[in-house]
């Protein structure tokens, strides 16, 4: 992410935060890494999440008036539903990585969880335990109702040869969430020309093609580019259906034509999710710095309509290695994002550092030799290691298997980490 883009994001966040606080949302805070704002509506206990990416997508005049109307709409929005009858039709499932706080969730894929949100015209609010208690329903009832509210759209027609189907979301269709519906992906077999393989690189994009098609190689490259450059990434991995019709990682064992691509995508997702986890851990958070508020500047896009466009081929440009490794470089960008967050939220207090630091997870390897993850343990001091293929201890690289017996599972961390007090001796 370039400097000018980070400045634009910070300006937009600052504008929205100030407008929200003037409207009475005193707890509004900017999540720089997620590029979204969290605030709690009056009379509600669960924070509302406002995605900022759609507001940044287009340029145009009358910017201040647009954001003024936008925030005014939030302030006038109805409160969260108080009864199960009111809430049930508004629930939607969403597929996400780790999310701070304690919203209702359940694991569905490696590093990914199913959450439930309350879908309202301008905002979505994650459902938490307090809503379940108020509505007097169980976790399973909420997940079941949310899935039932998806359209379960089915494409018509039959593809004469393997094609790529791209579902474009306007924010209401929840296309990536359809992967959670049992057997939904299987029903696209005729439309894509073979056993469906799906990609969900970001919240507004779902790509599906046929297994074994010539499109897969290009799609892995395209999806990685979308994922690493998105402000709302989900996963660079490919998925298919198991015997029960549930999504599973696309199987590409050694010798498979897509083995290296699938291996790299899996490593990229691990690096991204562990880096996201670091950003919310007090011991790794860089101290924010106060800057003067940026001038009010933003743009509001014209929302595209949801559609499923069928493409007969996919020939994306190659992704430079520097761009492809963006998730692994995220820690280097953290200070700049943290400064932007401090500017947007108006908070200058230094976060306390408590407990051992969380180790970085890096992507290493090549297409020729294979891809793997490496945890970095540069100093002989207590640390929380991510699960990795190998660990660099000082200047020495050791396999995870050789270190596992020296590590203790750290409690209450997702994705999991492993505690160690000192460098183990051979």
Do residues 110 and 247 both lie within one domain?
yes
Q: Are 138 and 132 in contact (CB under 8 A)?
A: yes
Long-range contacts of 326-332 (CB under 8 A, 24+ apart): 326/228, 326/229, 327/227, 327/228, 327/268, 327/271, 327/272, 327/275, 327/363, 328/268, 328/271, 328/275, 328/361, 328/362, 328/363, 330/33, 330/271, 330/272, 330/275, 331/275, 331/278, 331/360
Residues 248, 366: one domain? no
Residue owning tokens 């015209």: 121
* DSSP at 288: P
Most confident of 24-38, 92-106, 328-342, 409-423: 409-423
Question: 256 and 387: one domain?
Answer: no
Among residues 342, 376, 396, the one where a domain terminates is 342
- In a shared domain, residues 306 and 175: yes
**Residue found under tokens 């704002």:** 37
* Residue predicted with more confidence, 193 or 59: 193
Residues 241 and 179 sit within 8 Å (Cβ to Cβ): no
Q: Assess whether 230 and 293 both reside in one domain.
A: yes
State the pLDDT at residue 290. Answer: 28
The answer to whether residue 246 scores a pLDDT higher than 80 is yes
Within the chain, how many helices (H) and strands (E) appear?
Answer: 12, 21
Flag whether 16 is in a domain. no
Pairing mode, strands 307-311 and 247-249 = unpaired
Give CA–CA dist 139/144, Å, rounded. Answer: 9
Is the Cβ–Cβ distance between 72 and 23 less than 8 Å? yes
Among 291, 318, 342, which residue terminates a domain?
A: 342
Of residues 32, 44, 77, the one with CA closest to residue 338: 32
CA angle 110, 114, 120 (to 5 degrees): 150
Q: In whole angstroms, what separates CA 320 from the centre of its chain? A: 22
| Average of per-residue pLDDT across 362-366 | 98
Report whether pLDDT(322) > 70.
Answer: no
User: Of 176-185, 284-293, 370-379, 412-421, where does mean pLDDT reach its minimum?
Assistant: 284-293
215 within a domain of the structure (yes/no): yes
Instruction: Decide if 324 is inside a domain.
Output: yes
- Which comes out higher in pLDDT, residue 297 or 111? 111
**Is residue 294 included in any domain, yes or no?**
yes
Helix H, strand E, coil C: the string for 68-111 is HHHHHHHHHCCCCCCCHHHHHHHEEEEEECCCCCCCCEEEEECC
Cβ distance 304 to 356 under 8 Å? no
pLDDT above 70 as % of the chain: 76
Q: Would you say 78 and 86 are in contact if contact means Cβ atoms under 8 Å apart?
A: no
Q: What is the pLDDT of residues 16-33, one digit of tens each?
A: 888 888 877 888 888 887
Question: 248 and 314 share a domain?
Answer: yes
Residues 6+ apart with CB under 8 A from 331: 275, 278, 360
Q: Flag whether 24 is in a domain.
A: no
Query: pLDDT by residue (tens digit) across 109-153?
Result: 999 999 999 998 777 889 999 899 999 999 999 999 999 999 777
Is the pLDDT at 97 greater than 80, yes or no?
yes
Compute the C-alpha angle 24/45/281, nearest 5°. Answer: 95
Q: Which domain does 365 fall in, by range?
A: 357-420
Q: What is the domain count for the chain?
A: 2
Q: Could you tell me the pTM of the whole model?
A: 0.71
In a domain, 21, yes or no: no
Co-location of 288 and 389 in the same domain: no
Q: Is the Cβ–Cβ distance between 420 and 382 less than 8 Å?
A: yes
**Cα–Cα distance between 245 and 142 in angstroms, integer?**
21
Q: Same structural domain for residues 114 and 228? A: yes
- % of the chain exceeding 90 in pLDDT: 53
Residue 58 has pLDDT above 70, yes or no: no
Decide if 65 is inside a domain: no
pLDDT of residue 306: 31
Q: How confident is the model at residue 52 (pLDDT cuts 50, 70, 90)?
A: confident
> Does residue 54 lie within any of the structural domains?
no
| SS3 at position 50 | strand
Question: Are 286 and 228 within one domain?
Answer: yes
* pLDDT at residue 369 greater than cutoff 70: yes
Tell me which of 219-228, 256-265, 297-306 is least confident.
Answer: 297-306
Q: For residue 245, what are the contacts with CB-CB under 8 A and spacing of at least 6?
A: 182, 183, 184, 185, 186
Query: Are 338 and 361 contained in the same domain?
Result: no
Least confident of 149-158, 185-194, 401-410: 149-158
Last residue of a domain, one of 296, 314, 342: 342
Q: How far apart are CA 180 and CA 165, in angstroms?
A: 18
Residue 232: per-residue pLDDT: 86
Q: Does 367 share its domain with 333?
A: no
pLDDT of residue 333: 32
**Helix (H/G/I), strand (E/B), else coil: 6:** helix
Are 254 and 181 part of one and the same domain? yes
């Amino acid at each position: 992410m370039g400097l000018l883009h980070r400045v634009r994001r910070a300006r937009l966040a600052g504008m929205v935060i100030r407008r929200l606080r003037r409207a009475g949302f005193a707890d509004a805070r900017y999540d720089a890494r997620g590029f979204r704002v969290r605030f709690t509506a009056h009379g509600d206990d669960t924070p509302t999440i406002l995605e900022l990416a759609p507001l940044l997508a287009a340029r145009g005049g009358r910017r201040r008036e647009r954001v003024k109307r936008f925030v005014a709409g939030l302030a006038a929005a109805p409160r969260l539903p108080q009864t199960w009858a009111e809430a049930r039709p508004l629930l939607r499932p969403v597929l996400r990585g780790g999310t701070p706080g304690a919203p209702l969730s359940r694991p569905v894929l490696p590093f990914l969880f199913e959450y439930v949100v309350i879908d309202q015209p301008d905002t979505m609010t994650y459902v938490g335990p307090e809503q379940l208690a108020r509505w007097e329903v169980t976790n399973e009832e909420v997940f079941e109702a949310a899935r039932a509210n998806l359209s379960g759209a089915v494409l018509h027609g039959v593809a004469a040869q393997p094609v790529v189907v791209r579902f474009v979301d306007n924010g209401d269709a929840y296309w990536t969430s359809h992967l959670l519906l049992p057997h939904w992906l299987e029903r696209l077999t005729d439309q894509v020309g073979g056993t469906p393989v799906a990609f969900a690189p970001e919240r507004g994009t779902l790509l599906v093609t046929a297994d074994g098609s010539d499109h897969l190689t290009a799609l892995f490259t395209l999806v990685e580019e979308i994922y690493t450059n998105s402000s709302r990434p989900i996963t660079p991995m490919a998925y298919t259906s198991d015997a029960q019709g549930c999504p599973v990682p696309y199987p590409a064992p050694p010798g498979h034509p897509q083995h290296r691509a699938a291996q790299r995508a899996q490593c990229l997702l691990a690096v991204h999710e562990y880096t996201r986890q670091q950003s919310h851990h007090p011991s790794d958070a860089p101290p924010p710095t106060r800057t003067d508020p940026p001038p009010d500047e933003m743009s509001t896009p014209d929302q595209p309509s949801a559609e499923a466009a069928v493409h007969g081929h996919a020939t994306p440009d190659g992704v430079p290695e520097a761009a492809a490794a963006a998730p692994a470089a995220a820690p280097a960008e953290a200070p700049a994002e943290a400064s932007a967050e401090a500017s947007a939220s108006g908070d200058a207090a230094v976060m306390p550092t408590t407990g051992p630091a969380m180790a970085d997870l890096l992507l290493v390897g090549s297409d020729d030799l294979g891809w793997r993850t490496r945890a970095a343990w540069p100093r002989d001091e207590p640390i929380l290691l991510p699960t990795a293929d190998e660990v660099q201890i000082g200047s020495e690289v050791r396999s995870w298997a050789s270190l596992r017996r020296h590590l203790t599972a750290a409690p209450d961390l997702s994705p999991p980490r492993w505690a160690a007090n000192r460098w183990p001796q051979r």
